[in-house]
Amino acid sequence: MIELGANRYGKRAIRLVKVVREPGGHRVRDLTVDVALEGDFTAAHAAGDNALVVATDTMKNTVYALAAEHLTEAVEAFGTILATHFLAIPQVARATVALREHRWTPIPSAGGPAPDAFVRAGGATRTASVAATRDSTVVEAGLEDLVVMKTAKSAFAGFPRDRLTTLAEAHDRIMATRVMATWRHVGPAVDWDASHARISTTLLEVFAAHESESVQHSIWLMANAMLERHAEIDEVRMALPNLHHWPVDLAPFGLENRGEIFVATSEPHGLIEATVRRRGS
């Protein structure tokens, strides 16, 4: 005689970003949520009968719908709301919701924190590369894994359309990227640390302040400002993945998505690479 022992099922890695749009500025909540249910699921296993099997796709929808309505407080509170929701399903005996929150902090700007540009806590690694021959030594400084997001002032429209184009024009989208940038020094800098700090600050300031028409446009504006304001460098290279945040369609649930609820994705992603330099360099 064979029997079913402990069992559970659910949805893992539900990636959710909520942009809370308040008068004083935006706030970003970025969660990864796992849901697991235990209960009366013997028939699903032993008889292939799905009558009690809530689809894991529905669990995902639930996370997005309840986030639209209720995600304003701490993850412990949102987790409790979710667990309570799933426990209201009769065949569920235990609902376990695990949440991880990825922190974003506003990018400081001249007039106080920018209300609509953010940097993900942690991550940015300072980089340097020195390539020496007997004729010359080229020093490139830079950074990688600087994850930033604009929740306003980002558009992508006016692009060509053909039979294979389905993307809608976007006049107010989220732009998120993981910046890889290097800048080439004209010569040995007086103070590498100070130079790196100044140039990184310019990059972040322009990222927060500018009106973006595309990732290409953003690269150009950031690199231009870096070259114009910092005479010690003569070339900037950037590679920016477009970490797409797609708006979730809440209409089937009777809810409207006012640019608040997004699914964060990593595959596939756009990748935009460019070099900007002083003419003649």
Catalytic residue list contains 244 = yes
Q: Which stretch binds a copy of itself (CB under 8 A): 9-17, 106-114, 171-179, 198-206?
A: 9-17
2 sits near a copy of itself (criterion: CB under 8 A)? yes
Q: What's the Cα-to-Cα distance from 77 to each of 98, 156, 251, rounded to whole Å?
A: 12, 36, 25
User: Angle 69-71-72 (CA atoms, 0-180°, nearest 5)?
Assistant: 110
Q: Which stretch binds a copy of itself (CB under 8 A): 18-26, 107-115, 134-142, 172-180?
A: 134-142
Residue 141 C-beta: closest distance to a copy of itself, Å = 6
* Touching a copy of itself, residues 238-277 (CB under 8 A): 241-242, 252-254, 265-277
- Residue choice 41, 104, 207, 262 for contact with a copy of itself (CB under 8 A): 41
Specify the residue, 1 or 110, whose C-beta has the smaller distance to a copy of itself. 1
- Residue choice 137, 172, 201, 258 for contact with a copy of itself (CB under 8 A): 137
* Candidate list 32, 56, 80, 96, residue with the active-site label: 56
* Touching a copy of itself, residues 186-245 (CB under 8 A): 188-189, 192-193, 196, 212-217, 219-220, 223-224, 227-228, 235, 241-242
- Count of residues that interact with a copy of itself, criterion CB under 8 A: 130
Where does residue 252 rank: exposed (0-12), middle (13-18), buried (19+ CB within 10 A)?
exposed
Residue identified by tokens 């399903």 is: 89
Q: How many CA atoms lie within 13 A of 22 on its CB side?
A: 10
164 sits near a copy of itself (criterion: CB under 8 A)? yes
Catalytic residue list contains 56 = yes
* Candidate list 18, 26, 244, 245, residue with the active-site label: 244
55 sits near a copy of itself (criterion: CB under 8 A)? yes
Q: What does the block give as tokens for 138?
A: 């080229």
- Residue choice 53, 186, 206, 209 for contact with a copy of itself (CB under 8 A): 53
Q: Which stretch binds a copy of itself (CB under 8 A): 18-26, 94-102, 107-115, 198-206?
A: 94-102
CB 170 within 8 A of CB 155: yes
55/99 Cα distance (integer angstroms): 20
- Residue choice 70, 127, 198, 257 for contact with a copy of itself (CB under 8 A): 127
| Span between the terminal Cα atoms of the chain, in Å | 79
151/248 Cα distance (integer angstroms): 15
18/65 Cα distance (integer angstroms): 11
Q: Would you give the DSSP letter of residue 169?
A: P
Residue 229 C-beta: closest distance to a copy of itself, Å = 12
117/174 Cα distance (integer angstroms): 10
20 sits near a copy of itself (criterion: CB under 8 A)? no
Other CB atoms within a 10 A radius of the CB of residue 250 amount to: 19
> Hey, is 155 helix, strand or coil?
coil
Query: Which of the residues are catalytic?
Result: 11, 56, 244
